[in-house]
Amino acid sequence: MEVKIQSIHFDATEKLLAFVDKKVAKLEKTYEDIQKVEVQLKVVKPATVLNKEAGIAVTVPGNTLFVEKVCDSFEESVDQAVDALKVQLTKFKEKQRKH
């Protein structure tokens, strides 16, 4: 599984990149045939508290699933996005089984 992480409007720390990698890798437990994961970390509206946005696109055979979450921290945004993607991947897997 190829993972691409892009940080926009800031420089991501090694610690943050390692956290994102670890969280995203757990998606493979939900769905083994993930081809590619693209993570976009962005600082939005710098004056507000909720300004850490994580967008995660997961490419699976025949489809791309996408979730975007905005929270106080990138870790929280990534956590919520990964949880939402697990739900989407489970539904996608069930749909595939029926065909």
Q: pLDDT tens digit string along 33-68?
A: 999 999 999 998 776 789 999 999 999 999 999 999
Q: Which of 15-19, 44-48, 77-81 has the lowest mean pLDDT?
A: 44-48
Pairing of strands 36-43, 2-8: parallel
Which residues lie below 8 Å from residue 52, measured CB to CB, with a gap of 6+? 41, 43, 44, 70, 71, 72, 73, 74, 76, 77
Q: Write down the pTM of the prediction.
A: 0.93
